[in-house]
Structure formats: C-alpha cells, structure tokens
Amino acid sequence: MHASSAAAPAVHYLNNEKTIRSWLTTVDHKRIGMMYLVAVSLAFLAGGILALLVRTELAAPGETIMGPDAYNQTFTLHAVLMVFAFIIPAIPAVMGNFVLPIQLGAKDVAFPRLNLASFYIYLIGAVIALTAVVVGRVDGGWTFYAPYSTSVGNGILFITMGVFVMGFSSILTGLNFIVTVHKMRAPGLTWTRLPLFVWSIYATSIVQVLATPVIGITMLLLFLEKLLGIGIFDPALGGDPVLFQHFFWFYSHPAVYIMILPAFGVISDLMGTFSRNRVQGYKFVALSSVAIAFLGFLVWGHHMFVSGQSAVSSIVFSLITYLIGIPTGVKVINWVLTMYRGSVWLQTPMLYALMFLITFSIGGFTGIMLGVLAIDVHLHDTYFVVAHFHYVMMGGNVIAALGGLHYWWPKMTGKMYNETAGRIAAALVFIGFNLTFFPQFIMGSRGMPRRYYDYLPEFEIYHQLSTMGSYILGIGLFMILGYLLVSLFKGRVAPANPWGALTLEWTHTTTPPDPHNFHHTPVVTRGPYDYHLAPELFADGHSGDGANVSPESVHRSPSEA
C-alpha cells in the first residue's frame, strides 16, 4: 500500500451499511469508537460550557453572574462530567477502540458485543448522573466527601449511581482490551514490536480493571449511607469519614493514570512518526507505562495529608509519590531524545505533542511538589492544586487527545482537515490554556482557596487573566470543532498514509478502513518505528539532516502532481 494512493476505497466501514439502525446495533470496533467520539465530545462540550460559566463568575469579585449555590453546583457538574464522562473514556474508548485492534492486526476486539454493551452502559450511566441536575443540589465537587455529600439533597443518589454504572463501562472496556492484546495479535507481532500506543492502552486497562471496582463499592456504600444511614462513613453514626477518602482515592489516584497513560501512548506514536525515528529507549518507555500503572496504586494517601490520617502513612505515601517521577521522567527524556536524533516534521499533531511536553512537564513537577508533606499542608485546597491537575488532565490528557484526533482523523473519516486552520487553533489552545491556568499557580501559592465564588481584591488580576485565557482556549476549541466538521464535507480526500507512519493502521488498511480491517491477516516483520527498514515510504530510508520528512515529497499523489 503506497502513501500516495489518494482514492478512497469503494466500500469502507462508514458506507458498508447506511441505516441508523446499523450504527446503533453495530459490533464493529471502529463504529463503536466513532459513537464514543460523538458522545464524549458532547460531554466535553457541556463540561466546557460549564467551565466558561465558572470562569465568567470569577471575572470580578462578588456575585457576577450567579450566586454561591449555583456556583457550587456548576463547578461540581463541570468536574463530574469532565472526569467520569469525558476524560476517562476519551482516549481509551475512542482511539483505543478505533486504533488498537488494527494496530494489533486483528479483525476486531476479543468481545465485540461486550464492547457495544460498554457503550450503552456508559450512556445509561451518564444519563443517570445528569438526572441529578434535575433532582438538584449536588455541590460537593467530584470527590463526594462524606459526610457532607450525604447530608445535602437527593441528587447524590443519582450521581453515585451514575458513576457506579459508568464504572462498569470502563471495567468492561479495559477487560476487552487486555484480552485483545493477549490473544489477538497478528503473526510476527511480538510484545517488543507493539506500538507504544498499544502498550499504554494495555497498562491503562490494567488500572481500569483493578481500580474501578473499588469506586463501584465506594459509590454503592455512599448510596446506602444516604438511603439507609448504614453509618460506615458518617461520623454521627460511628463511621469514619477518612475511610471514605481511602476508598475514594484508592480508585481516584489510579484514575489519574487512566487519564494520563493513554496520553503517553499517543505522544509516543506521534514522536516516532513525526520524528522519522525509532522511539528511543523503546523497552523503557513501554515498561515504564506498566511500572506507572502499578506504582500508581501505592500513593493514594497523598490526597489525604491534612485529613487526619496517621503521620506514618503520610510519610510512606509521600515517599512512594516521589518514585513515580522516575518512570515518568524516563518517558519525557526518551521523547526528547527521539526528536533530537530524528528529523522533525512539524504538522498539527506534532504541535500538540510538543505542547504536551511543556504543559505536562509543568503539571508533573508541580505534582511532585504537592507530594511533599510540608509544602502540601500550605498548598492543600488552594488554586495551586486546581492549576496542577488541570495541567495534568487538560495539559496532559486533552492536549494529547487533540493530537491523536488530528493524527487519526484522516484514518477515521477519510478526509484531511485544513492544516493552516489546525496550526492557528493549536496556537490559540496553547496560549489560552497557559493563560488560564498559570496565574492559578501564583494565586494558589498566595493563598487563594479553591471552590469559592468570591475572592479578595488582591487576587483580581490573576482571576481576570485566567478568565481571559479561558475565552481564548474556548475560541481555539470551537475553531477545531468547526474545521473538523467542515473537513467532513469539503476536506481533501486523505491518502492512505498521509503521515508516513509505520504502524499497521496506516500501512495495511485502506483509508477509511475496510469493515473487516484487513483482507488478509498481516504478517509483521519489523518494529513500529523502524524507519530504516521501510524503504517503500522514504526512498533512501535514512534519517538525520536532509532526510525526506514528508511522504508526499517522495511519492507525490497522481492527482496533485
């Protein structure tokens, strides 16, 4: 399959069946991935609008557009939607579903019907959680700390059930991917030839399977606490509210890795492809994902340093938290090395990868700061924490998700988006994001507490910068939505391999892919980034100065020549 064949195949997964029913009942992993894309984009849109409302309220001290009650409910809903309905499924359920089986050379995931069921379970869970808006008064943030959460309104009943149900979707997706990676690899695709995206989704799936059941029982107990007063978490009945925090963070710290590990995978693939180079330290990058997945289970208490937990456990949790810096640093260093030794081709997806290096590193370093016991006592519950986790979740996950979306968009839709628009939007996102969240580090370190609808005059300048940044970020994101939608109708037909990538979804399938992915099961004979073994893409195959970085400069497509 050559990079230059610019004609879409007559039959592909998007047009082999056309009815709505064929979409809603599909067991094709690609179609399920696309349905997830629509669903999580809607969740992102709703959560994003809520975020803009929060920032608008904070544009000036005092009441701007809403009172304290409305403000509390707005940021809570923003958080719950973004965490459970958007970030957790964003990369694994959309790109994992679409790309992973093809990268493995498989015709589908191991359990296609279970895959479809996961999607509907996710939808049902999201709808149940949203019912809480109607029932009202859920205003304790996404952490639902007892006993506050069980002492206000009945909305908590729905939101805990919603999270419980969405958890099952996450578990079943993870289970499906683990079995798929173990049992469905194409001949010749050894563990050391897996694309790094597969490795990271695999590590993510392990976390999903091991951690999510605990949020399930936690939500169930909280539900029963509210409904029957079982007194396991409620101190008025003899319960221990700190125990709730243990239960909650046993899931929710690893959940941070459910959010960030897939991002690492996307970035690794982007780094290899757009640097025309093997990802340096492949084995270290691959295994560091697994190491992070396991270490991530031993640090949850760093969220509880001021909760009254024992000092002994605080010290242990703090020490292990530092350890996570090691595998994470291994990845960042290897990505930089990959670019240093390669020939970087600056297309829109790669811009997001570069952005990620900056924003995620800031998020990671401030995370280690927060893991230091003495500093955390000062910074706990301030905007510093808010800025930190937005740098990790948005600067890490969302930026990588945008990079991955731009990278796989031609494969998913068969259309190219406008590259210039892509670059402008990327710049807007980068500027807007940093302007939104960097001032929050400063005001947090100066004592601005999180979750308040009002603030002292000395914080006004930071809040105003932050609000302006959020509008720029919003414009950038809407612009992306716009040109991607336009590309569906007016976009240039995508060549089979527009980026000159070496993983199976680009080299062995049509664009868009065949309904069954491959006509013949591929036999894999080289690693995922072995450019020196791929003379068919770049005539001379060499890398370094003066190498061909754009596949089209080698094989110009006939229609454009």
Partner 1 sequence: MAQPAAGQPAHLKHYFVSSDQQFDAAKMGMWLFLITEILLFSGMFVAYTVYRVWHPEVFEAASDLLDWKLGGINTLVLLGSSFTVAYGIQRIQRGDRKGLIINLLLTLLCAAIFMGIKYVEYSGKFEAGIFPGGNFAPVGDYHGHDMANYADILFLPQFFSIYFVMTGIHGFHVLVGMGVFTWLVIRSFKGDFSPEYYTPIELTGLYWHLVDIIWIFLFPLLYLI
Partner 2 sequence: MLVTVFGSLIFLTILTVVSSRLDLGAFNVPLAMLIATTKAALVVGFFMALKYDNRVNSLVFAVGALFVIVFLSFTLLDTAFRGDLPNTTKGTIMEMDAAEAALQARQDAGPGAAVAPVPPPATH
Number of residues interacting with partner 2: please give it, by CB under 8 A: 27
Q: Residues with Cβ < 8 Å from 379, sequence gap 6 or more?
A: 369, 370, 385, 444, 445
Q: Which does 312 bind (CB under 5 to 8 A by kind): partner 1, partner 2, Cu ion, none?
A: partner 2
Tokens 């791929």 locate to 534
Residues of this chain, 275-304, that bind partner 2 according to CB under 8 A: 297-298, 300-301, 304
Tell which residue, 36, 282, 71, has the closest CA to residue 170. Answer: 36
Nearer to partner 1 by C-beta: 162 or 367?
Answer: 162
DSSP state of 342: S
**Any contact of residue 55 with Cu ion (CB under 5 A)?**
no
CA dihedral 149, 153, 156, 157 (to 10 degrees): 130
Q: How far is the CB of 125 from Cu ion (least distance, A)?
A: 23
What residues between 203 and 262 interact with Cu ion by CB under 5 A? 253
Q: How far apart are CA 148 and CA 374, in angstroms?
A: 27
Interacting residue ranges for partner 1, rule: CB under 8 A = 27, 106-108, 110-112, 114, 171, 175-176, 178-179, 182-184, 209-214, 216-218, 220-221, 224-225, 228-232, 234, 237-240, 243, 246-247, 516, 521
Which is nearer to partner 2, 204 or 507 (by Cβ)? Answer: 204
- Pick from 304, 297, 293, 299: nearest CA to 322: 299
3-state secondary structure of 517: strand
Quote the CA–CA distance of 200 and 212 in Å, as a whole number.
17
Q: Measured from the CB atom, is 316 or 479 closer to partner 2? A: 316
Interacting residue with partner 2 among 133, 242, 373, 375 (CB under 8 A):
242
Measured from the CB atom, is 180 or 382 closer to partner 1?
A: 180
Of 246 and 555, the one with the shorter C-beta distance to partner 2 is 246
- Closest to partner 1 by CB, 81 vs 219, is 219
Alpha carbons 127 and 130: distance in angstroms, whole number? 5
Evaluate the CA torsion angle 7, 11, 13, 15 in order and state its sign: positive
Closer residue to partner 2 in complex, CB, 280/321: 321
Distance CA 135, CA 137 (A): 7
Q: How far is the CB of 228 from partner 1 (least distance, A)?
A: 6
Mark residues 209-228: x for contact with partner 2 by CB under 8 A, - for none: -x---x--------------
- Enter the tokens of residue 173: 């997706």
- Cβ closest to partner 1, residue 58 vs residue 210: 210
At its nearest, how many Å lie between partner 1 and the CB of residue 84?
17
Beta carbon nearer to Cu ion, 253 or 278: 253
* Residue 421 near partner 2 by CB under 8 A: no
Closest distance to partner 2 from the beta carbon of 257 (Å): 14
Quote the least distance from Cβ 210 to partner 2, whole Å. 5
**E strand map for 100-248:** none
Least distance (Å) between residue 300 CB and Cu ion: 6
Burial class (CB in 10 A: 0-12, 13-18, 19+), 409: buried
Show the site string, 246-265: x = touches partner 2 by CB under 8 A, - = not. x---x---------------
Residue 253 site contact among Cu ion, partner 2, partner 1, none (CB < 5 to 8 Å, cut-off depends on kind):
Cu ion
Residues 6+ apart with CB under 8 A from 358: none
Q: How far is the CB of 205 from partner 2 (least distance, A)?
A: 12
Residue 243 touches partner 2, criterion: CB under 8 A = yes
Residue pair 241/147 in contact by the 8 Å Cβ criterion: yes
Across the strands, what pairs with 416?
492
CB of 231 to partner 1, least distance (A): 4
> CA-CA distance, 211 to 247, in Å (whole number)?
10
Integer angstrom CA distances of residue 126 from 16, 35, 170, 397, 537: 30, 14, 12, 20, 44
Rounded CA-CA distance 436/504 in Å is 38
**DSSP-assigned states of every residue in 418-441:** PHHHHHHHHHHHHHHHHHHHHHHH
- What is the contact mask toward partner 2 in residues 308 to 327, using x (rule: CB under 8 A)? xxxxxx--xx----------
Contact 64, 56 (CB under 8 A): yes
Point out which residues bind Cu ion (CB under 5 A).
253
Point out which residues bind partner 2 (CB under 8 A).
182, 206, 210, 214, 235-240, 242-243, 246, 250, 297-298, 300-301, 304, 308-313, 316-317
